[in-house]
Structures are given as C-alpha cells and as structure tokens.
A and B are shown apart, each in its own frame.
Chain A
Amino acid sequence: GENVEQHPSTLSVQEGDSAVIKCTYSDSASNYFPWYKQELGKGPQLIIDIRSNVGEKKDQRIAVTLNKTAKHFSLHITETQPEDSAVYFCAAQDLGGSYIPTFGRGTSLIVHP
C-alpha cells in the first residue's frame, strides 16, 4: 500500500517568513495530492490540492509543487501569519484505483507574531 512520509514534524517561523513542508510517497500510481489544515479542536480542512498532470499550483499565499519522478511534493506558505498556525497534513491518493487518501503524520506549524 501507499506510504507517505512528511517532514518536519514541527516548524516554527516568525510572522512574515516562508514555511515549507515536504512529503514523499511510495506508490507511483498515486495521482492526487491534497493538503489539509487542522486547527485546534476542528477537523482537517482541504486547503489546496494538485493532480499528477500538474507541476505547481498556487492559491494566494500557498502553493504546492509536485515532482513525480522523485515522488515528492511540497507545500509552500509565504508571508506567514499567526492564523496560519495549525497542523498541516499531506496526503496521496490514487483516483483511478484504491481511492483512499493516505496521510502523512502531520506538521505542526507555529507562527510567532
């Protein structure tokens, strides 16, 4: 089955800095890579996703990049704000096969004002 590794487990930045979270996956059949943000006491919320036919996708201050050859993808947050503080999860999914999102173990992002 799919295995997703996520690093770092904790990331502490100053407000205004950039943050990068990296994930690797094992199953070359995976073709859909969503990112979720989980705030304290809430469920994971989809913030951005990328499909395997695209190398990069941006949405305001967040962007995701995908390297299919190396089987890794990253979340980039620019101009971080305190409200970006949360746990971020990456996931990998085969939309043509098992359909089950496999999640990384999460990154706790702390943005200091």
Chain B
Amino acid sequence: DSGVTQTPKHLITATGQRVTLRCSPRSGDLSVYWYQQSLDQGLQFLIQYYNGEERAKGNILERFSAQQFPDLHSELNLSSLELGDSALYFCASSVVLNTEAFFGQGTRLTVV
C-alpha cells in the first residue's frame, strides 16, 4: 500500500456527463500528480499541484480541470465526457517536488 488513496475505484458514466475523481496523498506529501493511462498510451501526465498551487500542465484537455485543496487532497474534474476518455486515472504524490512519486491504485473510468 503506497499510502495514496483514490476514490472511487470504478466509475461508469454516460457520454456528456461530468465526474469528479478524488485523491488523498500520502501524509505529509505536498505534491500531487495526475496521470491518464489508456490501453496503448502508457502513463500520460495531465497536471501537477504543489502545496495548493498548479505547478505544471501536460496533455490535459480543456474539458478537464483539477485543484488541490488546503488539506492537500486533490480532485480531477472531467466534463462533457466522451467514449475516448475511458481510461485509468492515477494520482501520485511526493513529499516535495524533487523526490520520488508514489502512485495510488487508480480510478477506472468507463464512459458508455
């Protein structure tokens, strides 16, 4: 167990809907990363937060947004969902910016 908690584990929703994925980092970790893992795409970096501030953006669609709250948990919001958004979404956390990242178990999103 990495200490990173993601909820829910599974999510099935219809096209056009909006969902929120939640991540609780390891105790004391200030940095949170979000990654998308599709079948043949590997781990694609979406966005990083550090101590409540957005730190870096990757290939994140405009329909997606995220935030990190004062208690350091983070939420990834996905809206106007499309079939192609079906994937595993992982959250990772690290103590500070330049230390190793630990991953949660992921949220499997299925858009039907």
Q: Which residues of A contact B (CB under 8 A)?
A: 32, 34, 36, 41-46, 49, 89, 95-96, 98-106
By the criterion CB–CB under 8 Å, are A100 and B105 in contact? no
By the criterion CB–CB under 8 Å, are A89 and B106 in contact? no
By the criterion CB–CB under 8 Å, are B42 and A106 in contact? yes
By the criterion CB–CB under 8 Å, are B56 and A99 in contact? yes
Task: Choose among B35, B101, B104, B105 the residue with the greatest number of A CB atoms under 10 Å from its CB.
Answer: B101
By the criterion CB–CB under 8 Å, are A100 and B33 in contact? yes
By the criterion CB–CB under 8 Å, are B103 and A105 in contact? no
Cα-based distance from A73 to B104 in the complex (angstroms): 25
Residue of A32, A89, A99 touching B48 (CB-CB under 8 A): A99
Number of residues from B at the complex interface, CB < 8 A: 25
A interface majority secondary structure: loop
Q: Which residues of B contact A (CB under 8 A)?
A: 2, 4, 6, 31, 33, 35, 40-43, 45, 48, 55-56, 58, 90, 97-98, 100-106
By the criterion CB–CB under 8 Å, are B42 and A103 in contact? yes
